Amino acid sequence: MVSPISELNEPLKVEELLSRKARDWDLVQVAGRDGLSNVIYTPEINRPGLALAGYYEVFSAERIQLIYLASLTPETRQQVIRQTFAFHIPCVIVTTDLEIAEELITTCDALQIPLLRTSLTTSLFQADLSHFLERRLAPAWTVHGVMMDVFGMGVLIQGRSGVGKSECGLELIERGHRLIADDVVVIRRISKNQLIAETPPNIGYHMEIRGIGIIDVELLYGVRAVREESPINLRVMMEPWDPMKEYERLGLNDRESILFECSVAEYVLPVEPGRNIAKLIEVAALTQRLEDQGINVAREFDRRIMEAIQRKQTTRRPFTAIDRLPRP
Amino acid sequence: MMEQTQTGHRATVTIPNSLGLHLRPASQLVKIASKYEKCDVFLTKDGQSINAKSIMGVIMLAAEQGSELILEANGEGSEEAIRELVALIESGFGET
């Protein structure tokens, strides 16, 4: 049994936006210091256009607002501010270092709404902000397992407690692969069919090894042994060898499994004394890499065999990499 | 206060000790939660929910003194599990 899955919904506050992105985006807070704990719930961004013309029926107040009011006449500006700020707005941003109307500053201070300014142009800033918000607010969970980058393929190793996942992770690190997370893996669904795994907050690259205690992988093995995030390309299920169960022997069958509504290739690896699971995981990662390139070795091999049977002659070289080279 | 849920039991507790849920208290908590093999135990703080049988999970929450945690247990022995965990937390893990 794989341990239960938990939801991870850390609220995104304006202060996090500032602490993580102020430098990249040249963000400066101009007003509304008391509103830093305002929460941003939606990855969408609003650029009020209709609202400036007085139409508020579909005003998306819960979004971050990108506005510029300095060009309006003082009367219109006051009216727009009055109407716009009647809604509960989490945060207001002015781009391209545009002039900021005095009333906007006083209103934001009074209503405790952070007012930020960036030197980036609207199109650049909006794209960056949107990308950040989509990722940060993507649905996230934590699962029990070990997440490794093996030959550039993200491998999520799962299995019940005590089956040897962490030891297997250590062996993979020894072999030059990278640890993303041990025990608690943060998984984010960043688009319809794409999952990424992240190093969990507060834990970093610490591992709990029974009999030894807590170790720090980055300290022990250096910076080449760790990575902060990775897409999930395959999932390896480690389980004690069950003589009654039939394990995959050909690789002709579809390996698709569903993880948080995304399809992920799944390899079930039976554990038995003497089996080097780390080595098997390397092979699984490489096999999946070929599969992702459209090469299923078992099917190609089968096709060769069928051809040989049809021709009634043995084939000396059944399928090698050379056969895939383009021919003139 | 413990309440019954559809699948088990739940309680809300406040961390009393000044150092919060650091390594030693976390391991005490995990040790107790792990005793209940037929029961899933979760710990939630600020919308983040983790498996209470994992030391790293509990550490991830970084629960400070005064923070509120929701304990949830689903399955066989959930009532006893919650009672024992609440008692442990309220005792301050033997710390001040």
SS (H, E, C) chain A: CCCCCEEECCCEEHHHHHHHHHHHHCEEEEECHHHCCCEECCCCEECCCCHHHCCCCCCCCCCEEECCCCCCCHHHHHHHHHHHCCCCCCCEEECCCCCCCHHHHHHHHHHCCCEEEECCCHHHHHHHHHHHHHHHCCCEEEEEEEEEEECCEEEEEECCCCCCHHHHHHHHHHCCCEEEEEEEEEEEEEECCEEEEECCCCCCCEEEECCCEEEEHHHHHCHHHECCEEECCEEEEEEECCCCCCCCCCCCCCCEEEECCEEEEEEEEEECCCCCHHHHHHHHHHHHHHHHCCCCHHHHHHHHHHHHHHHCCCCCCCCCHHHHCCCC
Q: Is residue A104 part of a domain?
A: yes
Which residue is closest to A204 within chain B, CA to CA? B60
The C-alpha of A301 sits at a distance from chain B's nearest C-alpha, in angstroms, of 44
CATH number, domain of A188, equals 3.40.50.300
pLDDT at A6: 66
Q: Is residue A237 part of a domain?
A: yes
pLDDT at B85: 96
CATH number, domain of A113, equals 3.40.1390.20
Number of domains in chain A: 2
Q: Is residue A61 part of a domain?
A: yes
Burial class (CB in 10 A: 0-12, 13-18, 19+), A94: buried
Average pLDDT rounded to a whole number, residues B73-81: 93
Whole-number average pLDDT of chain A: 87
Q: Is residue A234 part of a domain?
A: yes
Q: Is A249 a catalytic residue?
A: yes
pLDDT tens per residue, range A45-103: 888 877 777 777 778 888 998 887 777 787 888 888 888 888 888 998 988 888 787 88
Rounded Cα distance between A101 and B64, Å, is 41
pLDDT at A324: 61
A202–chain B Cβ distance below 8 A for any pair = yes
Q: Domain check: are A132 and A164 in the same one?
A: no
Using the predicted structure, report yes or no on whether residue A2 has a pLDDT greater than 50. no
Q: Give the residue numbers spanning the domain of B44.
A: 2-94
B34, B41, B46, B48: best to mutate for the A interface, most A CBs within 10 A? B48
In chain B, which residues touch A (CB < 8 A)?
A: 23, 40, 42, 46-51, 53-57, 59-62
Q: Do residue B23 and residue A144 have CB atoms under 8 angstroms apart?
A: no
Rounded Cα distance between A133 and A41, Å, is 9
Of A165, A178, A227, A255, the active-site residue reads A165
Rounded Cα distance between A201 and A127, Å, is 26
pLDDT tens per residue, range A92-110: 898 888 878 788 888 888 8
CATH number, domain of B24, equals 3.30.1340.10
Which residue is closest to B50 within chain A, CA to CA? A6
Q: Domain check: are A127 and A160 in the same one?
A: no
Q: Phi/psi of residue A227, each to 5°? A: -150, 140
Q: Domain check: are A37 and A171 in the same one?
A: no
Nearest of A92, A86, A105, A37 to residue A63 by alpha carbon: A92
Q: Decide: helix, strand or coil at residue B13.
A: strand
pLDDT at A3: 47
Which range, of A56-60, A108-112, A169-173, B56-60, averages the lowest pLDDT?
A56-60
A2, A6, A8, A188: best to mutate for the B interface, most B CBs within 10 A? A6
Q: Do residue A10 and residue B48 have CB atoms under 8 angstroms apart?
A: yes
Q: Is A183 a catalytic residue?
A: yes
Q: Do residue A183 and residue B62 have CB atoms under 8 angstroms apart?
A: no
Q: Domain check: are A69 and A155 in the same one?
A: no
Q: Is residue A125 part of a domain?
A: yes
pLDDT at A5: 60
Containing B27, the helix (H) or strand (E) segment is helix B23-35
Of A149, A177, A178, A183, the active-site residue reads A183
Out of A109, A136, A163, pick the residue that ends a domain.
A136
Out of A80, A106, A136, pick the residue that ends a domain.
A136
Rounded Cα distance between A173 and A219, Å, is 13
Whole-number average pLDDT of chain B: 92
Q: Is A165 a catalytic residue?
A: yes
Using the predicted structure, report yes or no on whether residue A191 has a pLDDT greater than 70. yes
Write down the ipTM of this complex: 0.84
CB contacts, 8 Å: A8 with chain B: 47-49
A214–chain B Cβ distance below 8 A for any pair = yes
Of A23, A192, A249, A312, the active-site residue reads A249
Q: Do residue B53 and residue A3 have CB atoms under 8 angstroms apart?
A: yes
Q: Give the residue numbers spanning the domain of A204.
A: 140-292
Q: Domain check: are A123 and A220 in the same one?
A: no
Out of A136, A170, A202, pick the residue that ends a domain.
A136
Q: pLDDT-based confidence at A315, cuts 50/70/90?
A: low
- Name the token pair of A47: 């650029």
Number of domains in chain B: 1
**Do the Cβ atoms of B30 and B90 come closer than 8 Å?**
no
